[in-house]
């Protein structure tokens, strides 16, 4: 077994230390819990750590953000270690791939492409992403929006991508009429379909109004909780 005494009480740890610590924890002489985990068993942990990092950003809590970013990093290292054990890739490959992607998708910085505005940068990014992922159709671009995202967030992102590819976004008044009609015709029998359409159209309305639908619902939910006692 490796000498683990060097890790106790160390003044400063590095990414190399973290990688070695995970290797030790996953070893036969390490921690039973860590050794038993696989991608699916810690999937929820990864998601929760990301949400906690977002909470730190929302609350502007710098100390908490530092801690939660560390927890997110641990998840990246953990998943990378699982893949290293299986001989697929390791953390260094993850870093290499991400750095390579940043260089490739910023040709206006690392190459000779001109992009003087944020809009031009985003157009270049989308085009390069489509080429590197070999997305041949607009449908493939929309399908690439992760289904693991919260549904409201995913719906608005799909709408935005579709609009970039030429899809017509209804005007505000038309959207309001569509939403009102779908709500008024909702019944227990067709509720899932009708309300699903309402929520999808609401993301389009939010886009027209320049509103982040996911954030709007988050803030409204938080306000409801804060005022709950007085509303009962």
> pTM value?
0.77
Superfamily of domain 5-88, CATH level 4:
MazG-like (1.10.287.1080)
Model confidence at 133, pLDDT cuts 50, 70, 90, reads confident
Distance CA 3, CA 232 (A): 60
pLDDT digits (tens, 9 = 90+) for 177-223: 999 999 999 999 999 999 999 999 999 999 999 999 999 999 999 89
The answer to whether the beta carbons of residues 182 and 175 sit under 8 Å apart is: no
Q: Is 19 buried (19+), middle (13-18) or exposed (0-12) by CB count in 10 A?
A: middle
Task: Classify domain 149-231 at the CATH class level.
Answer: mainly alpha
Closest CA to 152 of 72, 78, 221: 221
Backbone torsion region of residue 9, taken as left when φ is above 0, otherwise alpha when ψ lies between -120 and 50, otherwise beta: left
pLDDT digits (tens, 9 = 90+) for 150-181: 899 999 999 989 988 889 889 999 999 999 99
Q: What number is the average pLDDT over the span 134-150?
A: 89
Model confidence at 231, pLDDT cuts 50, 70, 90, reads low
The structural domains of the chain, with segments of one domain joined by +, span: 5-88, 149-231
**DSSP designation for 145:** S
How crowded is residue 59: how many other Cβ atoms within 10 Å of its Cβ?
10
Tell me if domain 5-88 and domain 149-231 are identical in fold.
yes
> In Å, how far are 15, 201, 208, 218 from 213, measured between CA atoms?
37, 11, 11, 9
The answer to whether the beta carbons of residues 107 and 118 sit under 8 Å apart is: no
């Amino acid at each position: 077994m490796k000498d683990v005494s060097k890790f106790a009480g160390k003044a400063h740890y590095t990414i190399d230390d973290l990688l070695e610590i995970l290797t030790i924890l996953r070893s036969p002489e390490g921690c039973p819990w860590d050794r038993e985990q696989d991608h699916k068993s810690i999937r929820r942990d990864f998601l929760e750590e990301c949400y906690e990092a977002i909470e730190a950003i929302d609350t502007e809590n710098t100390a908490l953000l530092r801690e939660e970013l560390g927890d997110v990093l641990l998840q990246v290292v953990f998943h990378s270690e699982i893949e290293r054990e299986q001989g697929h890739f390791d953390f260094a490959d993850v870093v290499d791939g991400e750095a390579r992607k940043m260089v490739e998708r910023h040709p206006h910085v690392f190459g000779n492409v001109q992009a003087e505005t944020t809009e031009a940068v985003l157009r270049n990014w989308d085009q390069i992403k489509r080429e590197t992922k070999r997305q041949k159709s607009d449908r493939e671009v929309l399908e690439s929006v992760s289904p693991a995202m919260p549904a409201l967030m995913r719906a608005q992102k799909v709408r935005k991508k579709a609009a970039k590819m030429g899809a017509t976004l209804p005007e505000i008044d038309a959207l309001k009429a569509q939403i009102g009609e779908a709500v008024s015709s909702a019944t227990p029998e067709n509720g899932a379909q009708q309300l699903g359409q309402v929520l999808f159209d609401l993301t389009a309305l939010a886009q027209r109004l320049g509103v982040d639908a996911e954030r709007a619902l988050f803030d409204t939910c938080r306000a409801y909780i804060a005022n709950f006692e007085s509303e009962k």
